[in-house]
Amino acid sequence: MDRRLALVTGASAGIGAAFARILAGHGYDVALTARRTDRLEALADEIRLRYGVETLTVAADLAQPEGPGQILDHLTAHGRTVDALVNNAGYGLPGTFAETRWADQAAFLQVMVTAPCELAHRVLPGMVQRRFGRIVNVASLAGLVPAAAGHTLYAASKSLLIKFSQSLSLETAGEGVHVTALCPGFTYSEFHDVNGTRGLVSASTPSWMWLGADEVAAAGYEAVEAGRTICVPGAPNKAIAAVAKLLPDEWGLALMASQGQRFRKL
């Protein structure tokens, strides 16, 4: 195929769907993957009709270890290789660490850490060989600020994606491959509905702290095209990230101890 192909995980809604539309608008064919087949097919039809690009859908569960391989095998069977990867799939796991089941935490780590790293590892050699590649790891502002109680591995997983993106960016410098960690704050999407914290965060955070999924995805696309390794969309989020760098650890943890329950479900 003449057009490049972008693979977007967690593409059925929110930031993933917004990324798919933006990439298609810039001439990419798009491969969409998530668990909800009906929503994937509806988005694929919309993008194909609106932008005139090829769309492929792959229903897959990244909580299963075989998920990343199944996705890429499907694309290979259609004669396609991945030129741009958006690792967007993710969720939050409410509760404290001791109160949750390890099986749930293990599945969480598979989706949030292992799957994105495996997908990047599998597609990167081809990107380097073709001297073109774009990888966006959707991390979070939570990975740049002190940790809070509850959702225990969420910030840790996002921090790992940020460091992973930084290292990968250095390793691929000069190879035509750009790697960006996108670190949004509060975003209008289904994220808080899925983990049951919509009412909590909506009541405790002002409207000016929220961004739309389209705004976040557009910032991520611009950042990876420009070769910027870290992208924090929105002026309030940039300010929070800057202050977090300057706070002594003890102050940061004390702040999260007093304020964390406003947006974390214990």
Tell me which residues are annotated as active site: 154
Secondary structure element (H or E) that encloses residue 32, with its range = strand 29-34
| Mean pLDDT, rounded, for 211-231 | 97
Q: What is the pLDDT of residues 47-97, one digit of tens each?
A: 999 999 999 999 999 999 999 999 999 999 999 999 999 999 999 999 999
The residues with which 29 forms a beta bridge, in sequence order, are 5
Most confident segment among 77-91, 179-193, 251-265? 77-91
Of 78 and 247, the structure prediction assigns the larger pLDDT to 78
Strand partners, 7: 31, 85
- Domains of the chain (ranges; CATH) run 5-262 (3.40.50.720)
Question: 133-173, pLDDT tens digit by residue?
Answer: 999 999 999 999 998 899 999 999 999 999 999 999 999 99
Q: What percent of the chain has pLDDT over 90?
A: 79
User: Rounded mean pLDDT of 187-205?
Assistant: 58
Collect all residues with Cβ–Cβ distance below 8 Å to 179 and sequence separation of at least 6: 135, 136, 137, 165, 168, 169, 172, 224, 229
pLDDT at 207: 76
Question: Residue 9 corresponds to which tokens in the numbers above?
Answer: 């995980």
Q: What is the pLDDT of residue 192?
A: 46
Rg (the chain; Cα; Å):
18
